[in-house]
């Protein structure tokens, strides 16, 4: 999954974004030395890994930055676990908004084209969903969209509080 960080930084400069980048408190090497390869320890290990690498930094960012509302790009058609979510919800003392919840792949394509925005560079390599390099597979490798993340054991990383 090389090149993602560079692509993100170039896009941030182009769009003049004021990014605040939050990272896990433990480096990947320290995390692995301390807990082993959590992503290889079944659903429980994957959930622990996701909490340490993804949800903890997100919770910390929302709290430290005093965020009262945030936007996410979830779409209903991306997975079974997202079918019944609402476009606006009050969660953990702040609003979470999902402005493209009912968009199709075609809607995304048209928006990106109209605004001259790039697809994620890994899309061209067959990745239809991006999680992390340990547990994300191309559609060709996984054989099914739902199985492209977390070896098909689950779909969500926990940031959005969804099941699956």
Question: Has 2 been annotated as catalytic?
Answer: no
Rg (the chain; Cα; Å):
16
From the list 20, 157, 158, 159, the catalytic residue is 157
Question: Which strand (E) or helix (H) includes residue 140?
Answer: helix 139-142
Cα distance between residue 158 and residue 20, in whole Å: 20
Q: Among 134, 68, 138, which Cα is nearest to 96's?
A: 68
Are 54 and 31 in contact by the 8 Å Cβ rule? The answer is no
Annotated catalytic residues are 157
């Amino acid at each position: 999954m090389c090149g993602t960080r560079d692509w993100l930084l170039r896009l941030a400069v182009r769009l003049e974004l004021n990014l605040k980048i939050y990272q896990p408190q433990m480096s990947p090497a320290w995390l692995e030395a301390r807990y082993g390869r959590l992503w290889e320890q079944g659903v429980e290990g994957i959930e622990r890994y996701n909490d340490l690498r993804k949800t903890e930094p997100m919770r910390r960012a929302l709290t430290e930055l005093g965020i009262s509302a945030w936007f996410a790009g979830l779409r209903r058609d991306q997975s079974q676990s997202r079918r019944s979510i609402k476009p606006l919800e009050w969660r953990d003392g702040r609003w979470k908004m999902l402005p493209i919840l009912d968009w199709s792949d075609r809607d995304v394509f048209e928006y990106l084209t109209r605004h001259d925005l790039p697809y994620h560079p890994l899309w061209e390599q067959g990745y239809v969903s991006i999680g992390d390099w340990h547990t994300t597979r191309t559609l060709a490798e996984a054989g099914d969209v739902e199985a492209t993340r977390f070896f098909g054991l689950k779909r969500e990383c926990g940031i959005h509080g969804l099941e699956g």
